[in-house]
Amino acid sequence: MSAPNTSIKRIGLLTGGGDCPGLNAVIRAVTKTAIYRHGIEVVGILNGYEGLICNDVRELDASDASGILTRGGTILGTNNRCSPLRYPDGTNEDGSTRYIDATDRCLKTIEHHGLDAIIVIGGDGTMSCTAPLVQAGVPCVGVPKTIDNDIHGCELTFGFTTAMTTAAMSLDRLHSTADSHHRVMVCELMGRNAGWLTLSAGIASGSDIILIPEIPFDYDAIIAFLDERMASPAGFAIIACAEGAQEVGHGQTVSKVVDGSPDPIRLGGIGHLVADEIERRSRFETRTTVLGHVQRGGTPVAADRVLATRFGVAAIEHLLAGRHDRMVVWSGGTISDIGILEAAGNQRLVPLDHPLIDAARSVRTCFGDGG
């Protein structure tokens, strides 16, 4: 089938930001739909915006899209420390990194390869990087990805369900040691400033305490809860702690700052701090596990493959329908779209009246707030 009433004959496809299960499923859906249904050629841009800036691309044919549905990561490579508006290009006289606006380089690559539009798969940082392209008149369509499930306007991102499942299974496994040693086991989960991953995995694993960024915690409340829990017949406790969790009146715990990244702050370390403080204030032996990038790895679960496929197909249909500069989203049980720049720098946090919080409290989960 050839492209109907459209000037779009050849598109670029880019994955940006942290990898996430289901990226390859989107690449497959975009590529197969473009080629088989519309006769559109697809060019893969390698390693996120780096490929667009440095003219590093490869043609994708249908065989490239075969056999990748179940594979984690992205066959295109990705990058979460590269923005076209602030690209490192040599050093200044004082030895500091010199940054340039690399928009022209991106536009050159687009022109050189005859790309009529770009499909960008990424999180809010990656979407914000489309701004100079959108301003230059390049038709763009975004596809939201992240294990954090924190993209504005999108109720569910692919990758989240897989990460939640991995995290819940890991929390399940901590029960054996917690139970056998009568310990408190703290598990630090990803999620940046949003608690979706920790809240969902914590509920799924029956964690006793769930600490999320949206509900600052208080050590007195945690210890009071643990005193009761440790004295109960169970005699152990599991704490699911988001990397962005914070004590009342304190900031988040930063593990590093990645210069040049659209979102330079990397969170981490709070799990160890919580465990140390529990041991300091109580007689409970406490250990910490940091799940880290394990949560981003592995084959996507079936639900993420389905969502990723729907997003990929929708992205192509949006381009052909002239719905440019939009990002496809999952909202109200169906696919719709929002302005691609609306997603930029606009995170979706857990509302304090969310039914998941109420459900967790109903089964006596403690959020460290005494509630």
Residue length, the chain? 371
The number of angstroms, rounded, from the C-alpha of 174 to the middle of its chain's C-alpha atoms is: 24
Q: Total residues at the site for ligand F6P (CB under 6 A)? A: 13
Residue 348 sits in the site that holds ligand F6P (CB under 6 A): no
Q: Which of 19, 64, 124, 148 is catalytic?
A: 148
Secondary structure (3-state) at 320: helix
Instruction: From 72, 130, 119, 137, select the one nearest 294 (Cα to Cα).
Output: 72
Residue 242 sits in the site that holds ligand F6P (CB under 6 A): no
Considering the complex, state which of residue 139 and residue 191 has its C-beta at the smaller distance from ligand F6P: 191
Place of tokens 């004295």: 231
Considering the complex, state which of residue 229 and residue 296 has its C-beta at the smaller distance from ligand F6P: 296
Scan residues 73-112 and list those touching ligand F6P (CB under 6 A): 80
Whether 148 is a known active-site residue: answer yes
Residue 148 sits in the site that holds ligand F6P (CB under 6 A): yes
Secondary structure (3-state) at 15: strand
The amino acid at 83: S
Give the pair of three-digit tokens for residue 316: 């192509």
| Residue 66 burial (CB count, 10 A) | 11
Instruction: From 281, 275, 273, 288, select the one nearest 220 (Cα to Cα).
Output: 281
Considering the complex, state which of residue 66 and residue 255 has its C-beta at the smaller distance from ligand F6P: 255
Considering the complex, state which of residue 57 and residue 267 has its C-beta at the smaller distance from ligand F6P: 267
Out of 191, 195, 202, 271, name the contact with ligand F6P by CB under 6 A: 191
Residue closest to ligand F6P, measured at CB: 190
Stretch that binds ligand F6P, among 45-53, 142-150, 320-328, 342-350 (CB under 6 A): 142-150
Out of 30, 147, 154, 340, name the contact with ligand F6P by CB under 6 A: 147
Residue 146 sits in the site that holds ligand F6P (CB under 6 A): yes
Residue 151 sits in the site that holds ligand F6P (CB under 6 A): no
Place of tokens 């403690």: 366
- Supply the minimum distance, in Å, between the C-beta of residue 7 and ligand F6P: 35
Beta bridge partners of 60: 42
Stretch that binds ligand F6P, among 31-39, 65-73, 146-154, 353-361 (CB under 6 A): 146-154
Out of 117, 184, 185, 190, name the contact with ligand F6P by CB under 6 A: 190
From residue 346, how far is each of 100, 123, 252, 300 by CA, in Å? 25, 10, 18, 26
Out of 267, 301, 343, 366, name the contact with ligand F6P by CB under 6 A: 267
- Write the DSSP assignment of 221-269 as a string of letters: HHHHHHHHHHHSSS--EEEEEETT--BTT--PPEEEE-TT-SS-EEE--
Stretch that binds ligand F6P, among 1-9, 65-73, 85-93, 140-148 (CB under 6 A): 140-148
Secondary structure (3-state) at 315: helix
CB 18 within 8 A of CB 125: no
Considering the complex, state which of residue 238 and residue 290 has its C-beta at the smaller distance from ligand F6P: 290
Instruction: From 283, 370, 351, 340, select the one nearest 139 (Cα to Cα).
Output: 340
Considering the complex, state which of residue 147 and residue 341 has its C-beta at the smaller distance from ligand F6P: 147
**Binding site residues, ligand F6P, CB under 6 A:** 18, 80, 123, 146-148, 190-192, 243, 266-267, 296
Active site amino acids? 148
